[in-house]
């Protein structure tokens, strides 16, 4: 380590404290500013305060609290207001509850509506509500992928079933796997300009892979929140330039193994900008003092601290005003009334979206809807259990993850049918006792809460299913996995995704026929689009070939890029193609040279876009290419476009920006540099341009070039020389393919005066075998009389002397004599050569390449 002993810090100790304080997010207990929080603001200059349910009693109290905190900050000399934050994720995690604020649906319920505009409406309404209370930061949304049903914290909690409040979870995926799953929403958020990202206390196998070298081995077992390699992924791989915030350092996942004070140092040293300590004053002060001392002794680089302070300032300049004037008391007095009026409007929005989320997974038509009179005896079974204890520092929150539904449910049912009776199932009670109380019931409604994690609830549901059959209705009031697979045992199954009162009310409305169910299962049975590999085997009688299905999808999805069916199928059947199909879309991919992957085409029918089908197709193809390339050292590159066979060599410039964003949001990066182009010209009336004629005349008569079609005799030198000069093996392979088909004459050679070959080009008529690899030449004006010139190469010492121009001109004249009426020039990166000969651009392309880790993957990925 370099000796920094003689460096002079740019700040005084007082300034160091002020700067360090800006990097701390602290919580406190009470409904008014406590002595602790006042001290943390006045003496330690903390940059942010986080509120919990323990800080909220009423609308006017909450507004007065945030006003008081900002007033204290202003009096302490703050040039900008505090960040005042809260964790209002909605659904299960709702800190400001009714009647203070409307209850909004959480992420899984929003996902069940299958409409992103509902998520936007709820996010907007949440922000509006928080802003009205003086709260300017929300630790939401959570950006987890629901890849692990048992569970924005970067890099995502979706694939772990352990809660970091109590222990340190582990994600056992490789970096390659995380790139196509956990990192996807964060990559999208970065592209969209998210201002802050919170890190999670989770350990990752992918980080252990990155830390395998001796240089980084010390980071192998560190959680992401304290790990420089995880922060590097966010900063360098994803390109995030905003504020990185840690989750609370009093969670047992980090407090247990490292201690809160040490964890704060580790997080800042790793590259986190702000650390959060929510509950304990001694831990908050101890951590701040530890960081101040580390800066003074240069255990923490002051340049890094300054960078983080600047990021805090930058974000505040965007979202936080400079010391607003306090509101008058009269304004505060009117706030409760205005808030009540606003809540009515927001409740209507929430009710509408809850109705769209309620999902009837399966039902018996002769049971639902239930009668609203006393014709049938309906009994509601509600599991009960005492609240579980907590291993984390007490947060003062009402527990939201208890394994039983709310007691208020019976009131909602009785509002529709007064005769509904309730039977409480206390955990530990024999199921037979519950069944005795149901002997006279015609219909049983069972509310479960995560029964798939609770053996008693699970056993009760299965027993009642056996006893009542289709006369049992199960409402899964939290995660929808309780009886997702028990199709025969539980015949009527409804999912509402969260145990909130409005969510249950929506389910009851469906049960009694007041509203129709609109939700779609966002997980499990109905969540993953049925994507499968394209089957090249001959179709059985009466069953359509997969190649026919893909072709018809192509014609409907890409109507301006039609391809003849026989040409399309010949491209599809290439042995190094790995293609996937869905009833509403497809993805074509190829593997070149063992480890160079290409996504040649991907499309989804317009009406079915935005439903995850494209992502599922792309992910399936990507994973297959990684597996297939493992024998060649792993996938070394992945691009959008194709080489041989050829559809588009890149992403067409002409397509809509939202289609390009699809690739960007899934890990691809647009290459910096010029575009590439396909060109075309008719050649029926072609004559060599004057410049070409001049080039021929200016050449030394004793050193004239000869241009002849390739022959079997010239072929060995052609392949030997080109293989030495050009790195593109696909380029050289086209000449080999022509020779193998006995079509040497479909290429031209430039021969120097001494008999040495110095240049080559393809000059393919429509009947050339390699024309079966090119999809779009028939789209040109000359249609099925379109030839192709490509793979033009000249020895390096002869470049710049007009050899390429002469070679192309001679090839055009040769094709002209063979009845070709137009020439397609494929995939040109440089401008000038062809344009001077009358060619014009017909298609233009941008290059998009995969931006994530690619090297190496085990075959089981």
For 268-282, 682-696, 732-746, which range has the lowest pLDDT when averaged over its residues? 682-696
pLDDT at 7: 53
For residue 639, give the nearest of 849, 845, 853, 829 by alpha carbon: 849
Query: What percentage of the chain exceeds 90 in pLDDT?
Result: 54
pLDDT at 627: 76
Buried b (16+ CB within 10 A) or exposed e, 645-662: bbbbbbbbeeeeeeebeb
pLDDT at 571: 84
pLDDT at 853: 40
- On the question of a common fold for 141-271 and 358-387+400-526, the answer reads no
* Mean pLDDT across 616-642: 85
Instruction: Give the tens place of pLDDT for each residue, 784-796.
Output: 999 999 889 999 8
For residue 200, give the nearest of 170, 236, 242 by alpha carbon: 170
C-alpha span between 530 and 676 (Å, rounded): 35
Give the pLDDT band (50/70/90) at residue 46.
very high
* Mean pLDDT across 529-550: 70
Give the pLDDT band (50/70/90) at residue 387.
very low
Residues with Cβ < 8 Å from 405, sequence gap 6 or more? 382, 383, 447, 448, 449, 477, 499, 504
Domain 141-271: assigned CATH number? 3.20.20.300
Please count the residues of the chain. Answer: 861
Residues with Cβ < 8 Å from 276, sequence gap 6 or more? 24, 25, 26, 50, 245, 246, 247, 248, 249
C-alpha span between 126 and 250 (Å, rounded): 27
C-alpha span between 248 and 201 (Å, rounded): 9
For residue 17, give the nearest of 295, 270, 373, 276 by alpha carbon: 295
Which residue is listed with tokens 């079915």? 608
478 in Cβ contact with 488 (< 8 Å) = no
CB atoms within 10 A of CB 391: 11
Residues with Cβ < 8 Å from 456, sequence gap 6 or more? 383, 425, 427, 428
* Helices 302-319/13-21 angle, 10° precision: 50
Which residue is listed with tokens 């008081």? 68
Alpha-carbon radius of gyration of the chain: 34
* Mean pLDDT across 456-477: 94
3-state secondary structure 145-165: CCCCCCCCEECCCCCCCCCCC
Residues with Cβ < 8 Å from 298, sequence gap 6 or more? 4, 5, 7
406 in Cβ contact with 501 (< 8 Å) = yes
Give the pLDDT band (50/70/90) at residue 858.
very low
53 in Cβ contact with 19 (< 8 Å) = no
Q: Which of 18-22, 220-224, 422-426, 576-580 has the highest mean pLDDT?
A: 18-22
Which residue is listed with tokens 């909004």? 104
* Mean pLDDT across 266-272: 95
For residue 484, give the nearest of 516, 510, 458 by alpha carbon: 458
What are the CB-based long-range contacts (under 8 Å, 24+) for 14-20? 16/292, 16/295, 16/296, 16/302, 17/44, 17/45, 17/288, 17/292, 18/45, 19/305, 19/306, 19/309, 20/288, 20/291, 20/292, 20/295, 20/305
* Mean pLDDT across 454-465: 90
Determine whether domain 532-674 maps to CATH 3.40.630.30: yes
pLDDT at 3: 44
Give the pLDDT band (50/70/90) at residue 861.
very low
* Mean pLDDT across 214-223: 74
Backbone phi, psi, residue 678, to 5° = -105, 140
DSSP state of 90: B
Asked whether the whole model's pTM tops 0.75, one would answer no
Q: Is residue 645 reached through a cis peptide bond, with omega within 30 degrees of 0 on the bond before it?
A: yes
pLDDT at 608: 85
pLDDT at 545: 80
Instruction: Give me 543's structure tokens.
Output: 């069953």
Residue 261 above 60 pLDDT? Answer: yes
Residues with Cβ < 8 Å from 762, sequence gap 6 or more? 734, 735, 738, 746, 747, 768, 770, 788, 789, 790, 791, 792, 811
186 CA to centre of own chain: 6
Backbone phi, psi, residue 455, to 5° = -55, -35
For 22-36, 132-146, 523-537, 676-690, which range has the lowest pLDDT when averaged over its residues? 523-537
Residue 1 above 50 pLDDT? Answer: no
CB atoms within 10 A of CB 262: 17
Fold of 676-830: Aminopeptidase (3.40.630)
Strands 443-448 and 472-476: parallel
Residue 575 above 90 pLDDT? Answer: no
For 31-45, 213-227, 802-816, which range has the lowest pLDDT when averaged over its residues? 213-227
pLDDT at 157: 45
C-alpha span between 523 and 109 (Å, rounded): 11
pLDDT at 728: 63
DSSP state of 343: H
Instruction: Give the tens place of pLDDT for each residue, 498-510.
Output: 999 999 999 999 9
242 CA to centre of own chain: 18
Instruction: Give me 3's structure tokens.
Output: 């000796």
Give the pLDDT band (50/70/90) at residue 388.
very low
Query: Hey, is 84 helix, strand or coil?
Result: strand
For residue 154, give the nearest of 128, 127, 190, 118 by alpha carbon: 190
CB atoms within 10 A of CB 47: 28
pLDDT at 606: 92
Q: Is residue 369 reached through a cis peptide bond, with omega within 30 degrees of 0 on the bond before it?
A: yes
DSSP state of 604: E
Instruction: State the chain's mean pLDDT as an integer.
Output: 85
pLDDT at 237: 86
C-alpha span between 81 and 73 (Å, rounded): 7
For residue 82, give the nearest of 27, 15, 13, 14 by alpha carbon: 27
Which residue is listed with tokens 């429509």? 766
CB atoms within 10 A of CB 39: 15
Instruction: Give the tens place of pLDDT for each residue, 819-832.
Output: 999 999 988 888 88
Backbone phi, psi, residue 832, to 5° = 125, -60
Residue 269 above 80 pLDDT? Answer: yes
Q: Which residues pair with 466 in a beta bridge?
A: none
Backbone phi, psi, residue 426, to 5° = -85, 125
| Plot region of 699 (φ>0 → left; ψ -120 to 50 → alpha; else → beta) | beta
pLDDT at 547: 86
Annotated domain spans of the chain = 1-140+280-350, 141-271, 358-387+400-526, 532-674, 676-830
Candidates 3.40.50.1700, 3.40.1190.10, 3.30.70.2470, 3.40.50.1820; CATH matching 358-387+400-526: 3.40.50.1700
Q: Give, for 296, the enclosing helix (H) or strand (E).
A: helix 281-296
Residue 240 above 80 pLDDT? Answer: yes
């Amino acid at each position: 380590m370099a000796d920094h002993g003689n460096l002079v810090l740019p700040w005084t100790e007082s300034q160091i404290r002020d700067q360090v304080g800006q990097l701390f997010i602290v919580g406190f207990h009470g409904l008014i500013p406590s002595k602790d929080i006042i001290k943390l603001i006045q003496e330690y200059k903390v940059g942010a305060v986080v509120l919990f349910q323990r800080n909220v009693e009423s609308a006017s109290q909450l507004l007065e609290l945030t006003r008081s905190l900002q007033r204290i900050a202003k009096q302490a000399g703050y040039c900008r207001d505090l960040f005042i934050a809260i964790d209002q994720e909605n659904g299960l995690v709702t800190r400001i509850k009714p009647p203070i604020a409307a209850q909004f649906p959480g992420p899984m319920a929003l996902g069940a509506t299958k409409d992103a505009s509902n998520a936007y409406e709820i996010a907007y309404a949440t922000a509006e509500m928080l802003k009205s209370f003086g709260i300017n930061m929300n630790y939401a949304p959570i950006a987890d992928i629901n890849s692990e049903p048992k569970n924005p914290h970067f890099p995502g909690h979706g694939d772990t079933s352990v809660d970091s409040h109590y222990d340190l979870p582990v994600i056992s995926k490789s970096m390659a796997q995380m790139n196509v799953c956990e990192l996807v929403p964060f990559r999208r958020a970065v592209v969209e300009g998210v201002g802050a990202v919170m890190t999670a206390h989770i350990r990752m196998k992918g980080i252990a892979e990155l830390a395998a070298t001796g240089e980084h081995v010390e980071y192998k077992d560190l959680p992401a929140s304290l790990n420089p390699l995880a922060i590097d992924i966010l900063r360098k791989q994803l390109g995030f330039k905003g504020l990185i915030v840690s989750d609370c350092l009093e969670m047992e996942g980090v407090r247990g193994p490292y201690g809160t004070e040490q964890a704060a140092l580790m997080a800042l040293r790793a590259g986190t900008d702000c650390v959060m300590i929510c509950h304990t004053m001694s831990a908050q002060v101890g951590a701040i003092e530890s960081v101040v001392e580390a800066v003074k002794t240069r255990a923490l680089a002051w340049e890094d601290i300054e960078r983080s302070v600047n990021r805090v300032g930058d974000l505040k300049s965007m979202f936080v005003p400079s010391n607003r004037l306090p509101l008058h008391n009269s304004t505060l007095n009117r706030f409760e009334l205005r808030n009540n009026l606003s809540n009515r409007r927001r409740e209507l929005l929430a009710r509408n979206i809850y109705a769209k989320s309620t999902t009837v997974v399966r039902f018996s038509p002769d049971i639902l809807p239930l009668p609203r009179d006393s014709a049938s005896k309906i009994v509601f079974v509600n599991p009960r259990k005492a609240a579980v204890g907590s291993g984390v520092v007490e947060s003062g929150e009402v527990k939201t993850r208890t394994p039983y539904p709310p007691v208020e449910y019976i009131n909602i049912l009785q509002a529709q049918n007064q005769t509904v009776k309730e039977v409480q199932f206390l955990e530990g009670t024999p199921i037979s006792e519950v069944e005795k109380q149901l002997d006279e019931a015609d219909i049983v409604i069972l509310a479960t809460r995560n029964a798939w994690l609770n053996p008693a609830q699970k056993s009760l549901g299965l027993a009642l299913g056996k006893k009542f059959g289709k006369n049992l209705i199960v409402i899964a009031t939290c995660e929808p996995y309780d009886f997702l697979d028990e199709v025969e045992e539980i015949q009527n199954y409804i999912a509402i995704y969260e145990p909130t009162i409005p969510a249950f009310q929506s389910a009851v409305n469906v049960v009694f026929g007041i509203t129709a169910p609109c939700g779609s299962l966002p997980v499990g049975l109905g969540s993953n689009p049925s994507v499968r590999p394209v089957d090249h085997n001959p179709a059985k009688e009466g069953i359509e070939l997969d190649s026919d299905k893909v072709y018809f999808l192509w014609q409907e999805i890409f109507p301006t890029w039609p391809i003849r069916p026989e040409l399309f199928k010949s491209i599809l059947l290439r042995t190094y193609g790995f293609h996937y199909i869905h009833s509403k879309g497809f993805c074509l991919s190829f593997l070149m040279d063992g480890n160079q992957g290409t996504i040649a085409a991907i499309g989804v029918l317009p009406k079915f876009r935005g439903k995850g089908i494209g992502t599922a197709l792309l992910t399936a193809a990507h994973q297959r290419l990684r597996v297939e390339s493992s024998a060649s050292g792993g996938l070394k590159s992945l691009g959008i476009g194709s080489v041989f066979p050829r559809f588009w060599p890149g992403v067409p410039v002409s397509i809509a920006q939202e289609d390009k964003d699809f690739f960007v949001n899934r890990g691809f990066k647009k290459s910096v540099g010029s575009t590439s182009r396909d060109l075309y010209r008719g050649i029926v009336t072609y004559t060599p341009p004057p410049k070409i004629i001049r080039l021929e005349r200016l050449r030394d008569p004793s050193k004239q070039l000869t241009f002849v079609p390739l022959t079997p005799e010239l072929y060995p030198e052609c392949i030997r020389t080109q293989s030495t000069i050009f790195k593109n093996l696909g380029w050289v392979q086209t000449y080999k393919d022509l020779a193998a088909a006995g079509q040497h004459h479909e290429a031209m050679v430039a021969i120097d005066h001494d008999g040495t070959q110095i240049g080559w080009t393809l000059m393919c008529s429509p009947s050339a075998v390699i024309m079966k690899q090119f999809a779009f030449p028939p789209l040109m004006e000359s249609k099925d009389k379109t030839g192709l010139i490509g793979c033009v190469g000249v020895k390096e010492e002869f470049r710049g002397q007009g050899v390429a121009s002469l070679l192309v001109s001679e090839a055009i004249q040769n094709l002209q004599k063979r009845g070709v009426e137009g020439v397609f020039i494929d995939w040109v990166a440089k401008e000038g050569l062809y344009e001077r000969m009358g060619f014009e651009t017909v298609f233009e392309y941008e290059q998009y390449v995969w931006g994530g880790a690619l090297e190496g993957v085990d075959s089981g990925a």
